[in-house]
Amino acid sequence: MISNEKILNKYPDPRRENLIPLLQEIQELHGYVSRETIIEIGSHLPLPASKIYGVATFYNQFRFNPPGKYHIQICRGTACHVKGSSNVLDMLQRELKIKAGETTRDGMFSIEVVACLGACGLAPVISVNGEFHADVSSKKLQLILKQLRAKDKGNG
């Protein structure tokens, strides 16, 4: 694992306003906030693990599981909401049998809810590993997942 030391040293005080950028940088580095990093942050600041977890769960952006091979971000901004993104999220969760913030057991897929992907013209929009898919409907979603699964099999 890459060392968190550099990031930690940038934030010496146990203040909430420090904790959030710290968590952001850590997540940037590892893709998620692990148990180990919470322990590390806790002894660095110092702050109890329950507090760090509490603050982190207040925001949607933090995840506590390693992202899947295909990390699916789903936009829940206003435009996407109006175009039915909550149905898309429901479908996705049902289809993959995980909730937003979780990763499938085989490590293939993970879901993240984001406030706005900044592509309102494409609503409702999802992004798979950074690649945007516009106008997502139930049918389209199933197709996307099918293609991803097939692609993975093809790769062996």
Partner 1 sequence: MFNIEVNSNLIEAKPGEYILSTLKRAGIKVPTLCHLEGLIPSGACRMCVVEVEGMHDLIPSCAFPVSDGMKIKTHSARVVKARKTIVELLLSNHPDDCLYCVRNEDCELQKLAKQHGVIERTFAGEKNKYFLDMSSPSIVRDPSKCILCGRCVRVCEETQGVSAIDFIGRGSKTRIGTAFDEGLNISSCINCGQCIMVCPTAALRGQRYIEEVQEALRDPKKHVVIQHAPAVSVTLGETLNCKNGADVSGIMTSALRTLGFDRVFETSFSADLTIMEEASELVQRIKTGGTLPMFTSCSPGWVKFLEQFYPEFIPNLSTCKSPQMMLGAVIKSYYAEIEGIDPDDIYNVSVMPCVAKKFEAGRQELSNNGKPDIDAVLTTRELAMMIETSGIEANSLSPSIADNPFGERSTAGKLFGVSGGVMEAAIRTANFLLTGYELEQSQILEIRGLDGIKETIVQLGDLTLGVAVVSGLNNARKILEQIKKGRNDLHFIEVMSCPGGCIAGGGQPIKTDIELIKSRMKSLYYIDKSEPVRASHDNPYIKKLYDEYLEHPLSHKSHKLLHTSYSEREVLI
Q: Does 143 bind partner 1 (CB under 8 A)?
A: no
Question: Total residues contacting partner 1 (rule CB under 8 A)?
Answer: 15
Select the residue interacting with partner 1 from 7, 41, 52, 100 (CB under 8 A). Answer: 52
SS3 content of the chain, % helix, strand, coil (to 5): 50, 10, 40
Q: Does 101 bind partner 1 (CB under 8 A)?
A: no
Select the residue interacting with partner 1 from 6, 15, 35, 146 (CB under 8 A). Answer: 35
Select the residue interacting with partner 1 from 14, 25, 64, 95 (CB under 8 A). Answer: 64
Q: Name the burial class of residue 67, with classes exposed (0-12), middle (13-18) and buried (19+) by CB atoms within 10 angstroms of its CB.
A: buried
Q: Does 38 bind partner 1 (CB under 8 A)?
A: yes
Q: Does 54 bind partner 1 (CB under 8 A)?
A: yes
Select the residue interacting with partner 1 from 6, 12, 16, 59 (CB under 8 A). Answer: 59
Select the residue interacting with partner 1 from 53, 61, 108, 113 (CB under 8 A). Answer: 53
How far apart are alpha carbons 28 and 2 in whole angstroms?
Answer: 12
How far apart are alpha carbons 70 and 146 in whole angstroms?
Answer: 12
Q: Which of 64, 82, 7, 75 is nearest to 40 (CA)?
A: 7
Q: Does 48 bind partner 1 (CB under 8 A)?
A: yes
User: Position of tokens 């599981």?
Assistant: 65
Q: Are 90 and 138 in contact (CB under 8 A)?
A: no
The nearer residue to partner 1, 59 or 134, going by C-beta atoms, is 59
Q: Please give the residue ranges that form the binding site for partner 1 (CB under 8 A).
A: 35, 38-39, 42, 48-54, 57-59, 64
